[in-house]
Amino acid sequence: MSRISRRRFVEGTGAGLVAATAVPLKGQEQRPAPPTPPVPHTAIQVTVNGTRHKIEVEDRWTLVELLRDHLGLTGSKIGCDRGECGACTVLLDGKPVYSCSQLAVWADGRSVQTVEGLARDGELDPLQQAFIEHDGPQCGFCTSGQLMSAKALLNHNAHPTRDEVQHAMTGNICRCSNYNRYVESVLAAAGTLSASAGRKA
C-alpha cells in the first residue's frame, strides 16, 4: 500500500513560527505531600468470554475499567460512566448489566460475556450478522451494548415481538437514533421480522 505524504496536499505556513510553551507552575512546589492512604486491592477470579482470569484489582475499579484497561477488551464502551446510556452493557452470569455501574470486585467468582465473546470459532453470532445486514450501527459507539442487551433478550426469549425488543433494549441509548434499524436487526436475527407488525423502509 502506498503512503501518501500529507505535505503534498497541505500548504505549509513556513518558518518563523514560535512554538507554544508550557512551564511548570512556579513557587508552589514547597508544600509537603498530603498523606495518601494506600489504595485497597483485592484478588479476584473472573471468567471472561470463557477464559478464567486471576487478577488483583483496585477496589475502586469498575467492571468496565477492568475489562477495557486491564484485560484489553475495549469493545465495551464508556458513554456516560453512570448507568444511563448502556454502551458498556455486558452479560454478568447471563444477565445484562451496565459494567460502568458494577465494581470489578463484585465480579469475583462470576462469569462475564462481552461483545468480543459473541462470535464463536470465527462464526458471527446471528445478531452480529443481522446488525451488518440491517445497518444497525451508524457511528457504532453504542453497538456493543445494543448487541449484548439483544443477546440477553434472545437467550431467554428466542422469538420476541417488536414491543418486547423495544422494552428489552430501552436502556441502550443511540444518539444517531437508529432505533428502527436495531429493532429490525434483532427481529431478523430471531426470525420474527416478517411476523412483526412494523413496516420496513
Residue 64 in grid coordinates:
468496565
- The string of DSSP codes covering 123-190 is BPPHHHHHHHHTT--SS-TTHHHHHHHHHHHHHH-SS--HHHHHHHHTTS--TT--HHHHHHHHHHHH
Q: How far is the CB of 50 from other proteins (least distance, A)?
A: 15
- Residue 91: phi and psi, rounded to 5, are -100, 125
Q: How far is the CB of 22 from other proteins (least distance, A)?
A: 4
SS3 70: helix
Please say which residue, 2 or 109, places its beta carbon nearer to other proteins. Answer: 2
Please say which residue, 45 or 84, places its beta carbon nearer to other proteins. Answer: 84
Q: How far is the CB of 35 from other proteins (least distance, A)?
A: 10
Scanning the structure block, which residue is given the C-alpha cell 437514533? 177
d(CA 41, CA 56): 6
Residue 41 in grid coordinates:
486491592
Q: How far is the CB of 187 from other proteins (least distance, A)?
A: 12
Please say which residue, 60 or 109, places its beta carbon nearer to other proteins. Answer: 60
d(CA 95, CA 152): 6
Please say which residue, 46 or 134, places its beta carbon nearer to other proteins. Answer: 134
Q: How far is the CB of 198 from other proteins (least distance, A)?
A: 5
Please say which residue, 7 or 109, places its beta carbon nearer to other proteins. Answer: 7
